[in-house]
Structure 1
């Protein structure tokens, strides 16, 4: 075995290692069963805040009172939160697809395939040509009935209000960026935002969606894209939310806000799941970015 490769440990040895670093294991059989269903290093993201602090960062040893059961409870909470987030994002995504496709269709049914009828971003660099290549690949691989219908009747040329239903969130974000500013403004206005603000929200929520889709961690996560926010006083319900907008609670507030402004039903599942955060003195709900008064501060979370 190469000297620079970490030594293999059995599940029992992994439990013993955690115990040697100060974690209270409780029922060893239950801990071993948990490590069988959850990779040790995936679970390590949930015991990270239990590790002692030093001038050089986190130590391997744990704070007194750290329990394996609490780590497993955080993991299970995060799994529920991922599922709820994905479910809450779906109607928002579908509404944005429909709205963008409808407004682009006013210009030309196939405006997405005619860059001269799109905004200037579609004619700068190679982003548009790469987007079209990806779109055509998705079109060729699709087995959707509406795609087959257009292949037989219209030689596969989908109007933009149909094409948007084929796009994933990332491709939809690019198409919004390619659109004329007048189209962007109309879509953004329906969301209570400006076009640059909605662009940043598109990008931020695309990363959130990808995190959910790939079983990533929402708990204790700092997201790489912070949204551009409306000026203070424009949306009192958004102003009332006091949070770090790069943390998960801030990103989920964007979902609640968009659902409200797009006249969808705000998710009841998200607040219900947040209320199930396990009671752990060492690691409070603040690790998700939620303030103590998150349930009462804003109508978005009521």
Structure 2
């Protein structure tokens, strides 16, 4: 569409010119374009373009590319995002609970151990106020604590960390000076190598943030290769694809709840089967981009 803004009518005309079959009522197509946006939908019709790997492509669609199919791929992404965030949230809460419990009980005399130079690295402590900023202090529980305890610079760990993001709580783990506390927490999740545990959790945080910010899921590639685990074989040895990320999510979830782990895999299988049956191109995306192989 170039650098000039276009109307919905012009966008529809452009899709027709490029060969898309508009197999839905015109009013519905307009509603979709105003709801989701032409640019964002472009991520989902990109795989249906004839020359989609060319830098100077003309954006022609493969024969019989239907608007409804593009919408199916978009909603596969939406459903997948919602499914994954549900199970990642279970991991996030469990991890945060373990972090708070074990560290707070080890450092009983330091309720704000997350800024204790005997416990946490100087680099994290120096940056701490960017997390514990004025907006954070407006959080109801934190504000109430400071109103009641006017001399406290920070609320204790069980209050503070409850309102930190998954990523920030992982940074705290990485910042422990004591390797024993790191090992104690990582071994809960059946990972003895703490550096490997960090990489696994970073993978989960990465997917979590992708989901939270409405990233395009089917095309997700993890920047860094996921560490190998003796429990899983990654599809075609691809340690960057979404399926490999989902395997890591499921592995950590299994350490928390075998039932939730089984539920996740069953839900994924049902979801992908539902959309793979609708269109051969979507099935190819599931097989060769997401690389989903189920619980095999």
Q: In structure 2, do the counterparts of structure 1 residues 229 and 56 end up closer, same or farther at CA, with 3 Å as the change threshold? A: same
Contact 2:52 2:59 in 1 (8 A): no
Whole-Å Cα distance in 1 between the matches of residues 250 and 53 of structure 2? 39
Paired residues for 1:1-302 under 5 Å: 6-27=3-24, 28-53=26-51, 56-57=54-55, 58-105=57-104, 106-107=106-107, 108-118=110-120, 122-123=121-122, 126-137=123-134, 139-144=136-141, 148-149=144-145, 151-152=147-148, 155-156=151-152, 157-179=154-176, 180-193=178-191, 194-230=193-229, 234-235=230-231, 238-239=232-233, 244-263=238-257, 265-266=260-261, 267-268=263-264, 269-278=267-276, 279-283=278-282, 284=284, 285-291=286-292, 294-297=293-296
CA RMSD across the alignment: 2.5
SS of residue paired to 2:60: strand
For these two proteins, the number of residue pairs brought into alignment is 280
Contact 1:243 1:249 in 2 (8 A): no
Q: In structure 2, do the counterparts of structure 1 residues 242 and 92 end up closer, same or farther at CA, with 3 Å as the change threshold? A: farther
Q: In structure 2, do the counterparts of structure 1 residues 185 and 241 end up closer, same or farther at CA, with 3 Å as the change threshold? A: farther
Contact 1:243 1:289 in 2 (8 A): no
SS of residue paired to 2:59: strand
Q: In structure 2, do the counterparts of structure 1 residues 55 and 41 end up closer, same or farther at CA, with 3 Å as the change threshold? A: closer
Contact 2:199 2:227 in 1 (8 A): yes
Q: How far did residue 34 of structure 1 move?
A: 1.2
Whole-Å Cα distance in 2 between the matches of residues 9 and 296 of structure 1? 45
Alignment gaps of 5+ in structure 1: 298-302
Q: In structure 2, do the counterparts of structure 1 residues 296 and 97 end up closer, same or farther at CA, with 3 Å as the change threshold? A: closer
Give the TM-score, by structure 1 length: 0.82
